[in-house]
Structure 1
Amino acid sequence: MEIYEGPSEVVRPERHYAGIRVVTPFRGMFAVRDELMKELHARLPSGLTFFRLHVVNMDGPMDIEVGVVTDEPVSPDGRIRPGVLPAGRYGAMTFVGHGRRANGTLIDWIRGNGLAMDVVENPAGDRFACRYEAYLTDPRTERMKTRWQVEVAIKLAD
């Protein structure tokens, strides 16, 4: 994993998006993500693409969403639903390479700096106010995931 920026505390504005949300096991989750991206990109050809983790349970069901940031709210269209990445303080870093390692690095940095994540911890899965990976490299133009520049961000508690 190569870190380009951060980890650091950043402030993000509210951002609207169109997304497809599903529940899937951790094993095979990234294949599901890739299929959701294809489905979403067929309907929304431009915009920042992200992968949001609503509920994380690596031993059970994961509640995930793939979205594309939009300039304004969208109307529901089949499986595509409107959503909002909430405004607030985030722990964030930009990397290329292994996403699981980057997420661990960011979580360790947040905890090591005495910050608290906006998360409800539960044995059935940790529910995050907002945790995502934004693909700064457009997945539609670069097929090699190991070359993607990705921002991983976790909303911090107020």
Structure 2
Amino acid sequence: MPDQIYLDYRAERPYLGIPVFTSLNEEAQVIARHLAELREWMRSRQIAETGPPFVRYRMTDMPDRMEIDVCLPVKSAPPGDGRVRGNALPAGQYAVLVHTGPQAGLVAANEKMQRWAAQQGIRFQTRESEDATDWTSRLETYLIDAQSEPDARKHQTEIAYLVKA
């Protein structure tokens, strides 16, 4: 459902991830670098990824500060080694939007999601502080990316936010 927002219940989903601090300007390079590192770590331990890569946003203070996990889903997450960490996305109701097009459009797509939620009276599982937002589960999953499709107009990124019950 490109560009349509819908609600979807999701089960808990295990993953391996590398936590990183970045900014909006450096995010794409940071994700690519850490995703390559994560894949190599998993390959060396014979752990298979079970779906497309995603970023879990832990904290945002846009555009200058973000704490993210660069992630790959797995069947079951081992504890990791300090740098790579095993974890799971929480089960629950998610608001979902699939953005089609270049990554440059993701900021506008996230703004669309947040406006839609406000209009619907939907709140996300967050904790607000004076200068940042802590997210329980906010994701961007790269369904079709530059590795599988060179034409950025055909890229698809699923944006999903955990809804407050």
> Could you state the TM-score of these two structures normalised by the residue count of structure 1?
0.88
Instruction: State yes or no: 1:117 paired with 2:115.
Output: no
* Corresponding position of 2:46: none
Which one of 149, 155, 158 corresponds to residue 162 of structure 2? 155
Q: Which amino acid aligns with 2:28?
A: F
- Give the distance between the partners of 1:137 and 1:74, measured in 2 at CA: 27
**Residue ranges of structure 1 left out of the alignment (5+ in a row):** none
Instruction: State yes or no: 1:135 paired with 2:142.
Output: yes
* Corresponding position of 1:30: 28
SS of residue paired to 2:96: strand
Which one of 108, 111, 116 corresponds to residue 115 of structure 2? 108
Please tell me the root mean square deviation across aligned C-alpha atoms, in Å: 1.9
Identity within the alignment, %: 27
Q: Which amino acid aligns with 1:13?
A: A
**Residue ranges of structure 2 left out of the alignment (5+ in a row):** 44-48
- Give the distance between the partners of 1:42 and 1:109, measured in 2 at CA: 39
**TM-fit CA distance, 1:36:** 1.1
- Give the distance between the partners of 1:142 and 1:153, measured in 2 at CA: 22
- Give the distance between the partners of 2:134 and 2:148, measured in 1 at CA: 32
SS of residue paired to 2:2: strand
- Give the distance between the partners of 2:99 and 2:155, measured in 1 at CA: 8
**TM-fit CA distance, 1:142:** 3.1
- Give the distance between the partners of 2:117 and 2:25, measured in 1 at CA: 26
**TM-fit CA distance, 1:123:** 2.5
Q: Number of residues paired by the alignment?
A: 156
**Cα contact 2:145–2:152 (8 A) shared by 1:** no
**Cα contact 1:49–1:138 (8 A) shared by 2:** no
* Corresponding position of 1:9: 7
SS of residue paired to 1:74: coil
> Could you state the TM-score of these two structures normalised by the residue count of structure 2?
0.85
Q: Which amino acid aligns with 1:80?
A: V
**Cα contact 1:20–1:40 (8 A) shared by 2:** yes
Instruction: State which drifts further: 77-86 or 10-19.
Output: 77-86
